[in-house]
Amino acid sequence: MLARQFDALLAAADSDDGIDFDGLHVAHESDGGYTFATPEHEATGLSESELHAHADGSPYVTNWYFWEREVQRHESPRRAFLRHAEAADDHGVHERYDALADGMVTEWGQLRIEATLADAAGDATPADGSRRYDVRHVDDADHPVEELERYDDPLEARELSKHDDDGMYRPLKTGTNMPTGWAFHDLDWRDAVETVETLYPATVANWYREREGRLDIDHWTDTTDRQTGIYGIVSELPREAVEWVAEAACDDSQCVKRREWQYDEGDDLAADGGTGAFPCREPCSLVIAAARRWTKLEEEEPREYTFHLTPSEKDQIEGVIDAVADGRVDEIREADVYEDANRYRTRYLRAKLFDDHGNLGSVPTDPEEGHDHDDHDDHDDHDDHDDHDDHDDHDDHDDHDDE
């Protein structure tokens, strides 16, 4: 216990309410003596120096000081999150201090947050109950911190999480492609929450609201009905397609948030919402932008095409789609010709089944208009260009005008 901690304890004991926190009870009684009580022990009628003797070395005191004099912020998401990181509502102070000595781990999406107690820095500076935190990728749990790239400024989390391990831009901060190989180590409580909130913005706030029973969910219909500009059409996406949107984008394999939004209040989607630690309260901008594309694509009527495929070719096409959808293409070894999405296998299939215009089985995509596949390609490119968010928003009178 530090001198200032005892001073704070005295001041709080002298105040009207005294202290009643996490099992610690301290009061200045009307008879002039102090009471110092913990679940294990109670002493009354203490002088100031006797109170000091009881308080010194008591984890209850440093624990009180940490929460009530440092973190404070009652009824706030940050405090609740930090309490959660040491399961403070479930465990008494002794038990927690023992566990913190070994490190208490919370998984938060792909993050691993470990809370510990700050060490005493020699006899002159006894352990003061302040907590230290380590934040890193769950997959790096077993790495000694020296092997990881170390950071200490939470703002650096913006840059480091911008790209995945393959160097690709991550448009969704809660995508399951958080890069590995780094650690924010030995953070204080402020920087710990700040780091988590930088890597996964607003997740602490929304988790807290959910705990408090006041998560403000905006379902698919709420969210799409309020869209304007180029996103106004998204509300026209058929309900069954919204299932596919949720399955495509919000699955645990793609996003660490737990999807709590449904099609509408009382009209749940069948797609699995996932098991994430924190909720998703409305379709995100990435999903809305993708859904705009799907809305346009779903405006097309199906047509009947006739192709002749061997059973293995049909299987292979399915296998290629699976491999792309599951992001496995890069893992397929060059010579593994048993994999449907193997590059040689796929090139062979293309050589066999595509004509010079890139049409599968020589069947034109648009037989009536006599468009060959090249035209179709051009058309697609044009659309893609239009649909680039930064460009197309502009083309469609949404975004860039005033940016």
Partner 1 sequence: MSQALVIVAHGSHLNPGSSAPTYDHADTIRAAGAFDEVRTGFWKEEPSLREVLRTCEADEVYVVPMFISEGYFTEQVIPRELRLDDWDVADWDSDGLSADVATYTAEDTGQTVHYCGPVGTHESMTDVLVRRAESVTNDPDVGEGFGFAVVGHGTERNENSAKAIEYHADRVRDMDRFDEVQALYMDEEPEVDDVTDYFTAEDVVVVPLFISDGFHTQEDIPEDMGLTDDYRTGYDVPAAVDGHRIWYAGAVGTESLMADVVLERAADAGADVSAAIESVRETTRVAPGADD
| Residue numbers at the binding site for ligand SF4 (CB under 6 A) | 174, 249-250, 255, 257, 259, 280, 283-284, 286-287
Q: Are 176 and 255 in contact (CB under 8 A)?
A: yes
User: Which one of ligand SF4, partner 1, none interacts with residue 249, CB within 5 to 8 A by kind?
Assistant: ligand SF4
Does residue 163 interact with partner 1 by CB under 8 A? yes
Residue 251 beta carbon to ligand SF4: minimum distance, rounded to whole angstroms: 8
Q: How many whole angstroms separate alpha carbon 356 and alpha carbon 364?
A: 11
Residue 172 beta carbon to ligand SF4: minimum distance, rounded to whole angstroms: 6
Judged by beta carbon, residue 286 or residue 329, the one nearer ligand SF4 is: 286
- Residue 123 neighbours by CB under 8 Å, 6+ apart: none
Q: How many whole angstroms separate alpha carbon 253 and alpha carbon 276?
A: 11
Residue 13 beta carbon to ligand SF4: minimum distance, rounded to whole angstroms: 48
Residue 109: helix, strand or coil by DSSP? coil
| Strand order across the beta sheet in which 34-38 lies | 19-21, 24-28, 34-38, 41-46
Does residue 390 interact with partner 1 by CB under 8 A? yes
How many other β-carbons are positioned within 10 Å of the β-carbon of residue 301?
4
Residue 104 beta carbon to partner 1: minimum distance, rounded to whole angstroms: 25
Ramachandran quadrant class, 75 (left: phi over 0; alpha: psi -120 to 50; beta: rest): left
How many other β-carbons are positioned within 10 Å of the β-carbon of residue 295?
20
Does residue 225 interact with partner 1 by CB under 8 A? no
Residue 27: helix, strand or coil by DSSP? strand
Judged by beta carbon, residue 186 or residue 210, the one nearer ligand SF4 is: 210
User: Which one of ligand SF4, partner 1, none interacts with residue 171, CB within 5 to 8 A by kind?
Assistant: partner 1
Residue type, 382: H
Site string for partner 1, 166-185 (x = CB under 8 A): ---x-xxxx-----------
Does residue 399 interact with partner 1 by CB under 8 A? yes
Q: How many whole angstroms separate alpha carbon 262 and alpha carbon 397?
A: 29
Q: Which stretch binds partner 1 (CB under 8 A): 102-110, 184-192, 302-310, 394-402?
A: 394-402
Q: How many whole angstroms separate alpha carbon 264 and alpha carbon 282?
A: 11
The binding site for partner 1 (CB under 8 A) comprises 73, 76, 78, 155, 158, 162-163, 169, 171-174, 197, 201-202, 205-206, 209, 216, 226, 228-229, 281-282, 284-286, 289, 388-391, 394, 397-403
